[in-house]
Structure formats: C-alpha cells, structure tokens
Amino acid sequence: MIYLLPILGVLLSFIFVYFTKPKKKDRFKLLLAFSGAFLLALTIFELLPEVYEHSNARSIGIFIMLGILLQIFLEFFSKGAEHGHVHLSYENNTFPWLLFGSLSIHSLLEGIPLSENTGIVYGILIHKIAIAIILSIFLLGTKLRPIISGFFILLFSLMTPLGTYLATHFSFVKDNLVQLNAIVIGVLLHISTVILFESSEGHKFNLRKLIVITLGITIAYFL
C-alpha cells in the first residue's frame, strides 16, 4: 500500500482534472490547507520524536535545517509548486524539466520515511493529491499535448515510491536513514508551514479554513 497509494493518488487526481476540467485552482485551497495541517501534525507527532530518539539532538537540528534550506533551493526551480503555486507560462509547449526535476527530488525525499513509518503515508497521500490536482490544472491549461502532461504526472507519481524503495533496499540510504529523515522533516516543515501561512489570505479570519486545519491536526493525532 505504501507503494501503490501515492501512485494512485496522483494518477486519479490527473484523471479527475482531465475529465472534469476545473478552471480555478482556488477551489482546492481548503484541501491544500487540510493537507498542510495534516502533514505538519504527522511530522511533529511521528517523525520528530523518532529522529531525536536515535541521534544527537544538535546534529539532528543541523540536518533539519539543511532540509529547510534544500526545499528553499528547490523552490527556485519549481516556483512553489510543492505548496500549490505554479508560476510558469501557460504558453509553454516544451516539457518543463526544471519543474519536474525539483518536484521529483522533493517527492523522492518524501518516500524515504515511509520505509519505517507507514503511518505518515496518509499525510503524504493527501498532500500529493492536492498538489497533483493543482499541477494537473496547470499542465492541461498549457499548450503541452495531454499525453505529455500525462507522462509528466506518471513520472511524478513514481518518485515517492522510488524513495521508499531506495530506503528499503539500498544500504547507503538505510545506513543514513536517521539523518535523511531529519532532512525530510525540514522539507516537510517548510512546505506545510508555507501552506498554512498562505492559506490565511492576508491574515483575515476564515472559519472554514480554521475548521479544516483543526480537523487535519486532530485526525493526525489520533491516526
């Protein structure tokens, strides 16, 4: 299931967008806010205690900060697609390699903790569904042929299971799993907090988003 769910979540999201053709990404902001809260809560409740239990606290802090810096670096190329923003031109008719590369690294890293902590697969899944929907709306709105957009999404869907496979079968990844998980924590902390900050819409009170965020945190706690 930890291999199949991320793939199915992304592919079914693309199929949903292809057939329903939603025009506005704003309709999915509540789903994005829920995914950010859910992912943040799972990171704090599940991943953080584990890495601090198995290594020196100061070194773990360094790797978490490296993860935050890595995600900031990746966003120079993805333009924020990991948290629901795609700022590339709709006139684009060539395969967006920079976007694909940065999203692939991000997704591959997300799969690493799943090798030992299957509980967070649901947080990763909801996050990927929200991003896949927004990404699919963008890709299908460009001048790219639908088959190229579908190929992009297919490759994107395979990256998280690939990260899990590497963490399960490659000795280098297994030997450095605690440090890599700490880097992933930094990546997830950055992504989830940016999503939550951006969902505040200029710091205006929004009851629906507050309820969705609270729901995401509560479900993550009892999962």
Token pair of 101, please?
A: 């590369």
Whole-angstrom distance, CA of residue 152 vs CA of residue 96: 9
Statement: residue 24 has pLDDT above 70: no
For 22, the token pair is 């939603």
Q: Are 161 and 114 in contact (CB under 8 A)?
A: no
For residues 167 and 31, give the distance between their C-alpha atoms in angstroms, rounded to a whole number: 29
Give the integer Cα–Cα distance in Å for 51 and 63.
10
pLDDT at 82 over 80: no
pLDDT exceeds cutoff 80 at 91: no
More confident residue, 193 or 23: 193
Residue 28 contacts residue 206 (beta carbons within 8 Å): no
**111-139 average pLDDT score:** 88
pLDDT in tens, 27-47: 678 888 898 999 999 999 999
Distance CA(35)–CA(51), nearest Å, equals 22
Residue 22's pLDDT is what? 83
109 residue type, one letter: L
What's 21's DSSP letter? -
Domain residue limits, the chain: 4-20+31-82+90-222
Instruction: Write phi, then psi, for 23 (nearest 5 degrees).
Output: -95, -30
For position 90, what pLDDT does the model report? Answer: 64
**What are the helix (H) ranges across the chain?**
4-20, 29-42, 48-54, 57-78, 97-111, 121-141, 146-169, 171-175, 177-198, 207-222
CA distance 121 to 103: 18
- pLDDT in the model for residue 181: 95
